[in-house]
């Protein structure tokens, strides 16, 4: 059997501005591509007939494709999340708080470390290790 790699993760947010704030300003990824899927393709892929703008953000080992909804919707699923590993968890959490993002920090059972999450303005959840 061939080995498998994760090619990219796809998420949603309400605007490209919000997306840039989160992925460029907070996570320091680079915007690598912007494109629009035709309404015919979105209907075939997702059952929704509308043109869909998408922005791709990347770094050496991370590729995230963000569907820009241009509406006021929120992420409906409370359990789905993306886990990102960083060199400095505390620094990223503090930066997220200073930028107005919701953060969650829960002590682990052994008490020396934490489970940490950041929630973007759309409601997507990111575990930070």
Residue 3 counted as domain residue: no
Q: What is the pLDDT along the chain (129 residues), one digit of tens a residue?
A: 667 677 899 999 999 999 999 999 999 999 999 999 999 999 988 888 999 999 999 999 899 999 999 998 888 877 889 999 888 889 999 999 999 999 999 888 877 788 999 999 999 999 998
pLDDT of residue 1: 60
Instruction: Say what the pLDDT of residue 4 is.
Output: 67
Cα–Cα distance measured from residue 123 to residue 75, given in angstroms and rounded to the nearest whole number = 5
Query: Is 2 domain-assigned?
Result: no
**CA angle 67–89–79, rounded 5-degree value:** 45
pLDDT of residue 15: 95
Structure tokens at 127: 């575990």
Q: What is the pLDDT of residue 78?
A: 79
Residue 44 lies in a domain: yes
On whether residue 61 sits in a domain, the answer given is: yes
Residue 36 domain-assigned (yes or no): yes
- Whole-angstrom Cα distance, residue 58 to residue 61? 8
Count of structural domains within the chain: 1
User: Residue 23: which CATH number?
Assistant: 3.10.180.10
pLDDT given at position 39: 93
- Expressed as residue numbers, the domain containing 71 is 9-128
């Amino acid at each position: 059997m061939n080995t498998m790699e994760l090619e990219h993760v796809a998420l949603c947010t309400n605007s490209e501005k919000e997306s840039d704030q989160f992925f460029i300003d907070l996570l320091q990824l680079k915007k690598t591509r912007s494109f629009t899927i035709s309404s015919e393709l979105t209907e075939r892929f997702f059952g929704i007939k509308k043109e869909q703008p998408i922005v791709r953000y990347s770094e050496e080992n991370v590729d995230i494709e963000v569907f820009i909804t241009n509406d006021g919707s929120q992420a409906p699923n409370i359990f789905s999340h993306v886990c990102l590993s960083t060199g400095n968890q505390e620094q990223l959490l503090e930066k997220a708080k200073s930028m107005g993002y919701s953060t969650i920090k829960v002590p682990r059972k052994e008490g020396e470390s934490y489970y940490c999450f950041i929630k973007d303005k759309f409601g997507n959840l990111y575990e930070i290790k």
